[in-house]
Homo-oligomer: A and B are copies of this chain.
Amino acid sequence: MRRASSDSPTFSPLYRQIKELLLKALDSGEWQPGQLIPSEAELAQRFNVSQGTVRKAIDELAAENLLVRRQGKGTFVASHKDPRAFFRFLRLVPLSGEIEPARSVPLECWRAKAGPEAARMLELSLGAPIIIVRRLLEFSAKPVVLDEIYLPGEVFAGLTLELLKESQESLYSLFESRFGVRMVRAEERIRAVSADRSSAELLRVPEGSPLLSVERVSFTYGNRPMEWRRGLYSTIDHCYFNELS
């Protein structure tokens, strides 16, 4: 491992090159979500750099929530099985009272061909196979979110409504354990819309009620889009919470 020299136009410091190597190992599945990765000393030896350099690479990956450090134990691959990860990707809090567990109610799951919008969002070619899932999220047995989820068909080939219904874990947790796809980051675009008839019925609000429309694209390692979804959120008892800094 040698650093790119300063005159190189693609100069990047050593610790960033190490970071890329770690990312590649994560992407390749060498270390699975939830698993312990080698110690800093071991990695330093493997890459022929000092421990401090490995440390800085891991620092950045931990800051991006790809790795989780636990003092005395080691460094682990982040996993959606961790309940703390759940609210990182569902920024919904009750207007009053404590946060409660969500219950997912799968409604439908079918195969289709990517239209122009889905193809663009998922970076697939037009007509590529996709899977569409519709489901409700309930809090205290009341429907709050109606999701329509578009997935690349090849990656999630074995996904069925039955599988979704049997699964006790969160959706992203299922993607991880069953399809080897870990969602790493996402972009959300939020608008206010009026409930159409079918959404209103499912969410048990009057037709025409204002709802949040939350469009999300989720990415796995290497910024590859792996999910496009549109959620309709009823904000009668909940709100979308965001922290700015």
Complex partner residue of A192 from B88, B185, B193, CB under 8 angstroms:
B193
Query: Are A235 and B192 interface neighbours, CB within 8 A?
Result: yes
Query: Are B192 and A244 interface neighbours, CB within 8 A?
Result: no
Query: Are B187 and A88 interface neighbours, CB within 8 A?
Result: no
CA distance A57 to B51 in the complex (A): 21
Q: Which residue of B lies closest to A93 (CB)?
A: B189
Interface size on A, residues (CB 8 A): 33
Q: Which of A160-194 contact B (CB under 8 A)?
A: 184-194
Complex partner residue of A244 from B63, B186, B211, B239, CB under 8 angstroms:
B186
Q: Which residues of B contact A216 (CB under 8 A)?
A: 244
CA distance A216 to B189 in the complex (A): 18
Q: Which of A200-245 contact B (CB under 8 A)?
A: 208, 210-212, 215-216, 233, 235, 239-245
Contact A184 B245, CB 8 Å, known A210-B193, A210-B210: yes
Q: Which residue of B lies closest to A187 (CB)?
A: B243
* 0 or 1 for each of A8-24: is its CB under 8 Å from B? (1 = yes): 00000000000000000
CA distance A243 to B233 in the complex (A): 18
Q: Which residues of B contact A215 (CB under 8 A)?
A: 239
Q: Which residue of B lies closest to A238 (CB)?
A: B191
CA distance A243 to B242 in the complex (A): 10
Q: Which residues of B contact A142 (CB under 8 A)?
A: none
- Of the listed residues A184, A216, A242, A243, the one surrounded by the most CB atoms of chain B closer than 10 A to its CB is A242
Query: Are A212 and B189 interface neighbours, CB within 8 A?
Result: no
Report, nearest first, the 5 A-B pairs whose CB atoms are least far apart. A191-B235, A192-B210, A210-B210, A190-B240, A185-B245
Q: Give the interface of A toward B (CB within 8 A).
A: 63-65, 88-89, 91, 93, 184-194, 208, 210-212, 215-216, 233, 235, 239-245
Known A188-B241, A193-B210; 15 more pairs at CB < 8 Å = A65-B245, A185-B245, A186-B243, A186-B244, A187-B244, A188-B243, A189-B239, A189-B240, A190-B239, A191-B212, A192-B192, A192-B233, A210-B211, A216-B244, A242-B242
